[in-house]
Amino acid sequence: MSQPSQTPGTALRAEDFSSGRVITVRDRLFTRYAWDAGVAIGRYLAGLRRGVILGSRCPKCDRTVVPVRSFCERCFSALVDEVPLTDRGTVNTFSVTYVTWDMKKLEKPLIPAVIEIEGASKGCGILHLLDPDLDPKTVKVGMRVRAVWKGTRSREGAITDIRHFARLEEGAGA
Amino acid sequence: MIPHVETNQDLRAWPGDIPVEHLYTAGPAGDAALRAMKERAALLGSRCNACAVTYVPARYFCERCFARLNETVDVPARGIVKAVAVVSEDRDRKPLRKPVVLGLVALEGATGVFLHRLGVKKLDQAKVGARVEAVWKPPEERTGSVEDLLHFRVV
Amino acid sequence: MRRVAIVGAGMTKFVRRAHETAKELTFEASRLALESCGMKRQDLGCVVHGTAPDAFDGFHMKGEFLLDGSGGFGKPYMRCYVGGGTGVFAPIHGFLHVASGLFDTCLVVCEEKMSSCQPHPQGAFISIFDHTTERPLGPNLLWIFALEMNRYMSVHGIKLEDIARVSVKNKGNALDHPSAQLGEKLTVEQVLQSEIMAWPVHRLMVSPTSDGAAAVILAAEGVAEKLTDKPVWIQGVGWNLDTAYWTNRDLYYPEYVEKAARMAYGMAGIREPSKEINFAEPYDPFAYKELHHMEGLLLCGKGEAPRLTADGVTARTGNLPTCPSGGLLGVGNPIAAAGMMKVCELFWQCRGEAGKRQIPGPPKRGVAQAWGDLMQVGTVLVVGSEKPKT
């Protein structure tokens, strides 16, 4: 028996809801969460409060990853060597986003990026935002960037203690 | 090895939620059943003759023999209480002003039981074995919801 | 292990908003699959169900909630889930149930009703990001696709036109699919002129949100031949997951898909996938993903998939038809059901029953693949008209 040419499934239009042609029930889950940062990320956040990006080194795999973690998912050994990295990096990839999650237009586009952190192994980076004042046309994969930190007093031990990453001007930094 | 937490500052928890709500269609069978409540103050069931089962509210298919159910029947909105629960706290464990009495009612002519509130003046009226009948909201207040049925009262 | 064949398939229409409830969609796909091989629910040995996160539907224990529509009432029943990879993961579970000798037959059904999730299903997707190190930055699902697509394009020097051709092909193919939501005749220019949602992702490079269900029936050797004279044999299965630390690996290439493919090809005795596989249904929720996954499936070298698409090799009339169904871009993307739709397509194509979509031949062997979680899982199924040797 071949695939039937008429298949079941009834498509509704917006009018079917507004006119009450179909009956609906609206509901919302009563859930709020408090997610613990945990042991390794707790230390990572404490590092951010001090203005330091921390990674973890696995001597067995000869690999430094970021952010901090309690164990190496490759060799499955406990990672105890917490290492400070630099707050500079290279754009591994980026996007220029124009919509929010619920498909509303953003007034000013956001530029999320994966930033490979200098001091971590090649290819190891974090998700963060690039300077929103950058002209998106000038942003390139491979561009060097540096963290722009919040003032010491307004840091709270959060990923947002780094405001964003800005272009590292040639000759600046190491 | 899990290190001991030395100061409260090391403890961080992130508050958040999943920012969605849900809009459910009742589907073809559910529409018919809810419309019967709204328009006729009636309980609509679906009959599967092959399995000798009457589902209330109406269903689209028989979960036993997997046939599409096309035959609907009005089931009398009365029956016998099979189980009772008295709820005296809300979901946050705050005491309710007035307890809510829930009942599982075996409707005449239907398979299984139907969950709804029991409308009783005194808690001891809510008994297993009690005969009950539906009390409906007035037509202008009915919206096509299981809440169109106010409760079952003891007869 | 026993040999296992697909003996029946069925699916609903994929639509933006379905009137039918989740249970009813599940029922319709299951019923059609059973009818296609003359089986009754009561004959089934077991049932496997695949569906996405409970947050979509706001139903915890969604697998159990959908039990009746899945035909699982009073039977050994299992729900499985690996995000978008579920649609091909579920038949792998069904295969293991039957190959092990535990059951002679298995109904595998996948369902999604995304329209229930308001104001947008993306609200549920936000919760896939790390709550501490990522969510405070305000990410959404488009970000990871855009980031991966840009990485893939940057490493290989791929142009937007190369990506847009996939949308044109798949949405065009979907015009011939009776269940399709977004079949459309488009040009590359129209795709490139569509709204930029998250550069480099344009609106017409994205699959829609959908409601729908799809199902197959699996049977053991000896039983399969009695149910149909054209069993489609499962020749290989594979699945693999990469680390959830997605910013610590290079997104330009899906190594986990390659590992899953190698597992499936090893089982199927395939040495040269591009020569020994006649057609493919790689997972295409975004246009670039088809290319990315063709490479992961070893159907061509790294960075070569755009060339094959431009040269018409992946058209239905080409040497390696890819997403002849119309894919997620054209047929629609009710998450788990979308992957299962691809498995249904393999079944219909190998039997010569794909109607206007039929690849000449009919083809002897096809591969379906799905992908999901945090850009992390590859699930692969190889089927064909020939019974596997072992």
Q: What is the pLDDT of residues A118-143, one digit of tens each?
A: 999 999 999 999 999 999 999 999 99
Does C218 reside within a domain?
Answer: yes
Does C131 reside within a domain?
Answer: no
What three-state secondary structure class fits B76? coil
- Flag if A25 and B23 touch (Cβ within 8 Å): yes
pLDDT, chain A, mean: 92
Q: Which of B8, B12, B93 to mutate to test the interface with A (most CBs of A within 10 A)?
A: B12
Question: What is the reported pLDDT for B5?
Answer: 57
CA angle at C380 for the pair C379 and C381, rounded to the nearest 5°: 135
CATH for B25-154 is 2.40.50.140
- Flag if A65 and C126 touch (Cβ within 8 Å): no
Q: What single-letter DSSP state applies at residue C64?
A: H
Compute the distance between CA of residue C7 and CA of residue C227 in angstroms, rounded to an integer: 7
Question: What is the reported pLDDT for B1?
Answer: 46
Does C173 reside within a domain?
Answer: no
The structure tokens listed for B41 are 């103050």
Question: What is the reported pLDDT for C18?
Answer: 96
Comparing A31-40, C174-183, C360-369, which segment has the lowest mean pLDDT? A31-40
Residue type at C1? M
The fraction of chain C above a pLDDT of 70, given in percent, is 100
C330 and C179 in contact (C-beta within 8 Å)?
no
Picking from C11, C7, C1, C3, the residue whose alpha carbon sits closest to that of residue C339 is: C11
**Phi, psi angles (nearest 5°) of residue C15:** -135, 160
Does C182 reside within a domain?
Answer: no
Hey, where are the domains in chain B?
A: 25-154
Q: What is the pLDDT of residues C260-317, one digit of tens each?
A: 999 999 999 999 999 999 999 999 999 999 999 999 999 999 999 999 999 999 999 9
C389 pLDDT band (50/70/90 cuts)? confident
A50 and A135 in contact (C-beta within 8 Å)?
no
Question: What is the reported pLDDT for C53?
Answer: 81
Residues 240-259 of C with CB under 8 A from A: 243, 245, 247-251
The structure tokens listed for C172 are 């065009």
The fraction of chain C above a pLDDT of 90, given in percent, is 93
- Flag if A114 and C13 touch (Cβ within 8 Å): no
How many domains does chain C divide into?
Answer: 1
Query: Average pLDDT for residues C311-328, to the nearest whole number?
Result: 98
- ipTM score assigned to the predicted complex: 0.92
Query: Average pLDDT for residues C237-245, to the nearest whole number?
Result: 96
End-to-end Cα separation, chain C, in angstroms: 8
Min Cα–Cα distance to chain A from C246, Å = 9
Q: Which of A1, A56, A63 to mutate to test the interface with C (most CBs of C within 10 A)?
A: A1
Q: Does B155 touch chain A (CB under 8 A)?
A: no
Among the partner-chain residues B14, B23, B91, the one whose CB lies closest to the CB of A26 is: B23
Residue A171 has pLDDT above 70, yes or no: no
**Phi, psi angles (nearest 5°) of residue B123:** -60, -30
Q: Provide, as residue numbers in chain C, all residues whose Cβ is less than 8 Å from the Cβ of B14.
A: 131-132, 135-136
- Flag if B22 and C124 touch (Cβ within 8 Å): no
Average pLDDT across each block of 10 residues of chain B; the chain has 155 residues. List them in order: 56 82 94 97 97 97 96 96 95 91 96 96 93 98 96 96
Q: Does A1 touch chain C (CB under 8 A)?
A: yes
Compute the distance between CA of residue C326 and CA of residue C342 in angstroms, rounded to an integer: 9
Residue A170 has pLDDT above 90, yes or no: no
Residue C206 has pLDDT above 70, yes or no: yes
How many of the other CB atoms lie within 10 Å of CB of A103?
Answer: 12
Question: What is the reported pLDDT for A174?
Answer: 46
- Flag if B11 and A42 touch (Cβ within 8 Å): yes
Residue type at C79? R
What totals of helices (H) and strands (E) does chain B contain, helices first? 1, 10
Domain CATH number, residue C260? 3.40.47.10
For residue C118, give the H/E element and its range.
strand C117-118
Compute the distance between CA of residue C284 and CA of residue C105 in angstroms, rounded to an integer: 30
- Flag if B23 and C123 touch (Cβ within 8 Å): no
Compute the distance between CA of residue B135 and CA of residue B153 in angstroms, rounded to an integer: 7
Compute the distance between CA of residue C278 and CA of residue C276 in angstroms, rounded to an integer: 6
Does C285 reside within a domain?
Answer: yes
Q: Provide, as residue numbers in chain C, all residues whose Cβ is less than 8 Å from the Cβ of B26.
A: 21
Q: Provide, as residue numbers in chain A, all residues whose Cβ is less than 8 Å from the Cβ of C9.
A: 3
Question: What is the reported pLDDT for B31?
Answer: 96
Q: For residue C237, give its domain range.
A: 4-119+208-384
For residue C174, give the H/E element and its range.
helix C160-174
Q: What is the pLDDT of residues A40-89, one digit of tens each?
A: 999 999 999 999 999 999 999 999 999 999 999 999 998 778 999 999 99
Q: Which of C27, C114, C248, C251 to mutate to test the interface with A (most CBs of A within 10 A)?
A: C248
Residues 104-143 of A with CB under 8 A from B: none
Compute the distance between CA of residue C206 and CA of residue C166 in angstroms, rounded to an integer: 11
Q: Provide, as residue numbers in chain C, all residues whose Cβ is less than 8 Å from the Cβ of B64.
A: 73
